[in-house]
């Protein structure tokens, strides 16, 4: 499989802000882009040379799309497996079908991580109310019941506290196959955003600390302020996960930082087989952005330097936060990014702002 | 005239790499872009939400284009005056018709600069061979005969040395209206890239030193390595020019650095009413890029910080230089940009590479 060169076409499945920022990075390297997304208002359409507005189950359209591009990537982990297989049969799909299948099912994902000997929260598959009662018996409360598939930003999950009725919790998720996860008493939520090439080259950006608001990422800070040992452990965990998935592209591994015996350690929470919101700081904060790094990896090119430029803070602009755009434009050193979404619905990611401070 | 906001549409006249990089910067702020260019292979088309492929003299198409955008800018100074007027009658055209008309005619441009009391090379308008002989008498040799319009990258100019036949020189330029410019014995070619807003706010990037090869920009270095006095003089000159043109957007003023009485001074060579090749270093080398700065100015937004991030070198990739893309991708700290041009003709600007070194 020869690598693609400038002038080639990168196919991107999914037309949200992540696809948009991948397309912008690809353009910088002289690549053409073709975005596939059913949504007519896809922000990525505006910056891509071509787009296809068809369903993910439209096999004929997927075949035409694959024929028009040189390599295919995606911006979200819920690409249906059949869609991925159709594309992968025709063009290099990076990351591959296995990474996608493993990470789009929370139970498969946690089982995969646990099998590598990497700590996760205790978890059990839950197929029915009886399962849930048994799992709660084993794991204890508080615990979180999550749908195995299609959850993001806190959607598809319910906290089970000592007083919560298990039946109610189960009904809330409407009988979808679930996973029960034990509660982790963490000090910090951190993530590793890293890239791996076809040849196995691996490069991680510096570990970042994340705070969430209403289950949506609010702020990312780098450096994360954890011990050097914990940071090395976190990066090593991400590298093992990438290796085991034979991963190509950028991935994010969200982790909990916990204290055991006076030392900081990491517990894996979630793997995102894609560029990630907690990596947006790299656009101004690192020598190579996560989007450039992803394009390099999926095209079969060498990775760029992941070196950090200073102390960095990234803040998401959710819903009407983006109304402050003019004030943010006027703030020296604030780097404003807006995604071109027309309607500022509550909870909708409209943009972000990155502040880079001199190196400490 | 109210400023446009994110979600608005920026119209860009011209579809080359400068238009492309303006469109990429606009996208980052959530703007839509619409590129107008007659060339079917326009690199900017690939990154713009809409494009119109019609001639610059197609009044009906220009009117439709103007109706579909909120503000219009351009990426090259040879936009015909009539084209500019049609657009300016319908939407804010930034920079305006006066900036365009002044800078697209070398004689008008030099006359304008001289009238401000700013030093230029000695110059005379040349309408025929007899004019040329008279002008050579006054200015002396060596001198440069240039067409008043449509010259760029050394096209449309001929050096008149002591041994050159004036008749031959005149015939080389095929009887086009010309300007004869005296030769300036310079120490360095420098340029100021700066932005001015509708309200008169002005911000210059640091002065850069440029080297050319075969009349095409080869390398830009920042800092330029000139005295603080000379740098302040250069920026003050650019500010006066921008003010006098009631300029809105980014402009570049190319200057010669000369030594007079032991001191460095500047002599204005050329004004480019647009983003400029010698400002490409700002993409990674400054807090705000020249493209972002231009978008901010033409949209009526506040300017960003023009602060430099370190010592910077930008090298153009001309013709087959771009074949080295893979090697450049593998060089740590090298920021590669390719413009998506399909054919690497000799002398064609295919991309550039920027290297940022730690602050001295």
Percent pLDDT > 70 in chain A is 98
- Top residue of A329, A330, A337, A343 to mutate, by most chain B CBs within 10 Å, is A329
Q: What is the CATH number of the domain that holds B68?
A: 3.40.50.20
Is residue B151 situated within a structural domain? yes
Rounded-to-integer distance, Cα B99 and Cα B112, Å:
11
**ipTM of the complex, rounded to two decimals:** 0.95
Q: Are residues B256 and B321 in the same domain?
A: yes
Q: Are residues B323 and B242 in the same domain?
A: yes
Residues near B33 by beta carbon (within 8 Å), at least 6 away in sequence = A46, B9, B10, B11, B12, B22, B23, B26, B27, B47, B48, B49, B50
Q: Are residues A278 and A350 in the same domain?
A: yes
Q: Are residues A144 and A193 in the same domain?
A: no
Are B284 and B30 in contact by the 8 Å Cβ rule? The answer is no
Helix (H, G, I), strand (E, B) or coil at A18: helix
How do strand B208-213 and strand B263-272 relate by DSSP bridges?
A: unpaired
Q: CB–CB of B338 and A32 under 8 A?
A: no
A–B: how many Cβ contacts below 8 A? 107
Q: Is the pLDDT of residue A3 over 80?
A: no
> Two tokens at A220?
């990312």
pTM, to two decimals: 0.97
Is residue A102 situated within a structural domain? no
How far lies A69's CA from each of A53, A207, B49, B65, B88, in Å?
15, 34, 19, 30, 40
Q: CB–CB of B5 and A325 under 8 A?
A: yes
Q: Are residues A19 and A84 in the same domain?
A: yes
Rounded-to-integer distance, Cα B294 and Cα B274, Å:
8
pLDDT at A2 (0 to 100): 59
pLDDT at B359 (0 to 100): 66
Work out the number of other CB atoms within 10 angstroms of the CB of residue B254: 18
Q: Are residues A69 and A137 in the same domain?
A: no
In the listed set A182, A198, A222, which residue is the last one of a domain according to the structure? A182
pLDDT at B155 (0 to 100): 79
pLDDT at B333 (0 to 100): 87
DSSP letters for A76-90: -TT--HHHHHHHHTT
Angle between helices B81-88 and B59-68 in degrees, nearest 10: 40
Q: Which residues of B touch A296 (CB under 8 A)?
A: 329
For residue B282, the surrounding DSSP H or E stretch is: helix B282-285
Instruction: Domain count for chain B, please give it.
Output: 3
Q: Which residues of A touch B329 (CB under 8 A)?
A: 296, 301-302, 304
Q: Which residues of A touch B22 (CB under 8 A)?
A: none
Is residue A151 situated within a structural domain? yes
Q: What is the pLDDT of residues A135-161, one digit of tens each?
A: 999 999 999 999 999 876 677 899 999
In the listed set B164, B182, B200, which residue is the last one of a domain according to the structure? B182
- Chain A CA closest to residue B330: A302
Domain residues for the domain of B262 are 188-357
Is residue B104 situated within a structural domain? no
> Two tokens at A265?
């350690």
Percent pLDDT > 90 in chain A is 92
In the listed set B78, B93, B108, which residue is the last one of a domain according to the structure? B93
pLDDT at A59 (0 to 100): 98
Are B299 and B31 in contact by the 8 Å Cβ rule? The answer is yes
Percent pLDDT > 70 in chain B is 98
How do strand A178-182 and strand B123-126 relate by DSSP bridges?
A: unpaired
Is residue B34 situated within a structural domain? yes
Q: Are residues A169 and A193 in the same domain?
A: no
Q: Are residues A253 and A308 in the same domain?
A: yes
Q: Are residues B261 and B279 in the same domain?
A: yes
CA A89 to chain centroid, in Å, comes to 24
- Top residue of B25, B340, B343 to mutate, by most chain A CBs within 10 Å, is B340
Q: Which residues of B touch A49 (CB under 8 A)?
A: 45-47
- Top residue of B47, B297, B334, B337 to mutate, by most chain A CBs within 10 Å, is B47
Strand partners, B260: B263
Q: What is the CATH number of the domain that holds A131?
A: 3.30.1490.20
Residues near A262 by beta carbon (within 8 Å), at least 6 away in sequence = none
Q: Are residues B146 and B282 in the same domain?
A: no
Q: What is the pLDDT of residues A317-350, one digit of tens each?
A: 999 999 999 999 999 989 999 999 988 899 999 9
Q: Are residues B221 and B332 in the same domain?
A: yes
Is residue B115 situated within a structural domain? no
Backbone angles phi, psi at B141, to 5 degrees: -120, 155
Q: Are residues A349 and A259 in the same domain?
A: yes
């Amino acid at each position: 499989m020869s690598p693609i060169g400038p002038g080639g076409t990168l196919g991107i499945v999914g037309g949200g802000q992540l696809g948009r920022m991948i397309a912008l990075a690809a353009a910088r390297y002289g690549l053409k882009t073709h975005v596939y997304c059913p949504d007519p208002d896809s922000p990525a359409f505006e910056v891509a040379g071509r787009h296809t507005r068809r369903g993910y189950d439209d096999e004929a359209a997927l075949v035409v799309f694959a024929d028009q591009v040189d390599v295919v990537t995606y911006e979200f982990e819920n690409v249906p497996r059949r869609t991925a297989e159709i594309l992968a049969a025709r063009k290099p799909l990076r990351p591959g079908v296995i990474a996608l299948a493993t990470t789009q099912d929370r139970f498969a994902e946690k089982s995969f991580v646990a099998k590598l000997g990497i700590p996760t929260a205790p978890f059990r598959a839950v197929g029915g109310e009886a399962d849930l009662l048994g799992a709660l018996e084993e794991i204890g409360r508080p615990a979180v019941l999550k749908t195995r598939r299609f959850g993001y930003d806190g959607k598809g999950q319910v906290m089970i506290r000592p007083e919560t009725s298990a039946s109610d919790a189960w009904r809330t998720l409407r009988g979808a196959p679930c996973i029960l996860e034990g509660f982790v008493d963490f000090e910090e939520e951190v993530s590793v955003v890293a890239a791996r090439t076809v040849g196995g080259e691996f490069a991680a950006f510096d570990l970042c600390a994340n705070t969430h608001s209403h289950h949506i990422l609010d702020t990312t800070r780098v450096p994360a302020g954890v011990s050097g040992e914990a940071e090395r452990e976190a990066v090593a965990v991400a590298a093992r996960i990438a290796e085991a998935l034979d991963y190509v592209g950028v991935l994010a591994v969200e982790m909990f930082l916990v204290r055991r015996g006076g030392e900081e350690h990491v517990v894996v929470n979630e793997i995102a087989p894609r560029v990630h919101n907690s990596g947006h700081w790299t656009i101004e904060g690192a020598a190579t952005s996560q989007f450039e790094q992803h394009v390099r990896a999926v095209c079969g090119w060498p990775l760029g330097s992941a070196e950090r430029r200073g102390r960095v803070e990234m803040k998401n602009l959710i819903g009407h936060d983006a109304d402050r755009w003019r004030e943010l434009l006027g703030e020296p050193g604030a780097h404003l990014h807006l995604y071109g979404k027309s309607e500022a619905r509550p909870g909708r990611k409209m943009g972000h702002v990155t502040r880079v401070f001199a190196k400490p």
